[in-house]
Amino acid sequence: MTMNAALEGKVYPDATFTVEPERVNLFCAAIGEERDIVPPTFATAAEFAVMPFIVGDAELGLDFTRAVHAEQEYEWRRPFRMGEALTVRSRIASIRQKAGNGFLTIETEMLDRGGALVVLARATMIERGA
């Protein structure tokens, strides 16, 4: 089975993600960060607020057990602020088939309460051919 390429452009429902101090501390512990900051790549935790929608999207048909993360990009407009609530919105930027493998690129916007972009994430996964 291959992914449904007709779903390019599909936007998933918004999720809310709060930058909780306990979670930031755990993240800092995982990457050895000792300063009192929100590490830039903590944005990954916000992306995972939406990931279940994509993995569980029967219409898309991504086989997550054959998927590997191939590429990741972040653009930061400013750092996350401790305690702030963000709106997380993902869309399918592209679906491609190449040499028997599927390539899925998801773009995720993380917006502040005023709707301003804080972080843009772009994740590309390869679904290896069965």
Can you give the binding site for another protein, defined by CB under 8 A? 23, 26-27, 29-35, 37-41, 44-45, 48-49, 51, 64-66, 68-76, 78-79, 122
> Based on CB atoms, which residue is closest to another protein, 9 or 40?
40
Q: Closest separation between CB of residue 30 and another protein, Å? A: 4
Q: Closest separation between CB of residue 117 and another protein, Å? A: 13
Rounded CA separation 111/122 (Å): 15
- Are the CB atoms for 72 and 123 separated by under 8 Å? yes
Q: Closest separation between CB of residue 28 and another protein, Å? A: 8
User: Whose CA is closest to 41, among 54, 24, 59, 57?
Assistant: 24
Task: For residue 32, give every residue at least 6 positions away whose Cβ sits within 8 Å of its Cβ, in sequence order, or none.
Answer: none
> Based on CB atoms, which residue is closest to another protein, 8 or 63?
63
> Which CA distances in Å does 24 have to 38, 68, 113?
6, 25, 20
Q: Closest separation between CB of residue 6 and another protein, Å? A: 27
